[in-house]
Structure 1
Amino acid sequence: MDTTINKTIRKGSADKRGKIMAAARDLFLSEGFDRSSVDAVAAKAGVSKRTVYDYYGDKQNLLLAVVEETSSAVLVMIEQGISDHLRDFEDLEQSLILFCEQIVASANGSSDYMALIRLVMVEAANLPDSFLERLDNAKEEGIIRRFTEFGQTGLLDVPDPQMAAKHFAALTFLLAFNQPRKTGTWGDEQTKRMITEGVRVFLRAYAPRTG
């Protein structure tokens, strides 16, 4: 009997959290963090103002929670790309290109990724530097692990896998994301060429040393 009650309570709590998070994300994106009140979040979520405070403490913590939740979907996207292209392969260059293309294509179709980019860009001043650094590190963590292994097996020369991951991202999918999107997508031929050239520049810089 107690177990059934506890499960119901936890499910109800999860439902309320989901409604609060969805309401907060919508308001932060449409109205901005400063112009969005806890009262407005509560009203949109259909809960009391006290419930919002009980769950998240204050509006700043709610913003952090929204960004963290959205970033979880991005991490899953990156890990899927690693699993699909950077574990079993024959050609490292082609695998890195396919990985980047998948990240761009997935991001282009992901409302979570779009929301994360917009929130971080618009509300960066309201996010602690330490939080943004941790977010960047989390997104790079899977790539760092693979580059470390590539270094150990002699596929790459990566004395600093973390720096290598930053260079790789900057030369490929992050560069693509920073380009103007006239059609609203990143999937055009120019982006593919950009990714291909970025991967080749990266591989020239991190090729195994010979002699």
Structure 2
Amino acid sequence: MAESPIPAPKPRRGRPRDPERIRRILEAAQTHFNEHGLERASVDAIAADAGVSKMTVYSNFGSKEGLFQAVVRDRTAPVVTGVPGSKMLDPDRPEQALLAIGTRFLALARGDDALGALRSIYGVAGAQPQACRAFYKEGPERVIDELAAYLRRAHSAGTLKVRNPLQAADLFLSMFFGSAHIRGMLKLETPDARENRALLREAIRVFMAAYRA
């Protein structure tokens, strides 16, 4: 049964938001979006699970779509912030840098939060272009840009020969989105830590074979 439409009030000015309350709303919303998708998720049910009123949800996020975008941002952030910044990595040691980036990225990309965010965003592709664009810019694009920045530094240092850093970064990260990623998206059995380490070592070997100076 469809929910009766409610005007989406703007967030209150001058009143600080309760971080714990926001956290409860985001966690409840993530569960509902993962289970039901954006269209079938109920703000009433999300509010009840979070222990707040529906108006509290609307006053903080504006609409169900605004709440969905907040959930996507919240679940995307660890993928970006957890990947080492390009300036923290030694351009003279590309294999160690790729190991650091790949280890963190692979662990986060295979995590339930990241997979849940991907399932949710794929479910609204086309219907919610703003949410999809925000997810891409705040997640994949930022990670690719960070790795590309490192590859430029390694190229300048003479340890790698990378004519197109963005393309090379995209190729490296794409090696982690094969059959194991598809199984994770489908909630099937995923590789264990040993298999992930083997994949990471092989990805680095292939990348270095292509781009070593």
One-letter code of the match for 1:77?
G
Stretches of structure 1 lacking an aligned partner (at least 5 in a row): 1-8
CA shift digits 1:51-88 (9 cap, x unpaired): 111111111111111011111111122228x79xx724
Would you say 1:158 and 2:162 are equivalent positions?
Answer: yes
One-letter code of the match for 2:157?
T
Would you say 1:57 and 2:55 are equivalent positions?
Answer: no
The answer to whether the 8 A contact 2:91-2:157 is kept is no
Would you say 1:104 and 2:106 are equivalent positions?
Answer: yes
Would you say 1:131 and 2:134 are equivalent positions?
Answer: yes
The answer to whether the 8 A contact 1:169-1:175 is kept is no
The answer to whether the 8 A contact 2:84-2:101 is kept is no
Question: How many Å separate the matches in 2 of 1:150 and 1:92?
Answer: 7
Aligned alpha-carbon RMSD (Å): 2.9
Would you say 1:30 and 2:35 are equivalent positions?
Answer: yes
Question: How many Å separate the matches in 2 of 1:13 and 1:94?
Answer: 41
Shift of 1:169: 0.6
Q: Give the aligned partner of residue 174 of structure 1.
A: 177
One-letter code of the match for 1:170?
S
The answer to whether the 8 A contact 2:180-2:190 is kept is no
Question: How many Å separate the matches in 2 of 1:21 and 1:139?
Answer: 23
Q: Give the aligned partner of residue 193 of structure 2.
A: 187
Change (3 A) 1:92 1:178: same
The answer to whether the 8 A contact 1:105-1:186 is kept is no
One-letter code of the match for 2:136?
E
Stretches of structure 2 lacking an aligned partner (at least 5 in a row): 1-14
Q: Give the aligned partner of residue 89 of structure 2.
A: 87
Identity among equivalent positions (%) equals 27
Question: How many Å separate the matches in 2 of 1:180 and 1:53?
Answer: 35
Identify the match of residue 209 of structure 2 among 176, 198, 204: 204
Aligned partner of residue 159 in structure 2, secondary structure = coil
Q: Give the aligned partner of residue 117 of structure 1.
A: 118
Shift of 1:138: 1.8
When the two structures are superposed, what TM-score results if normalisation uses the length of structure 2? 0.74
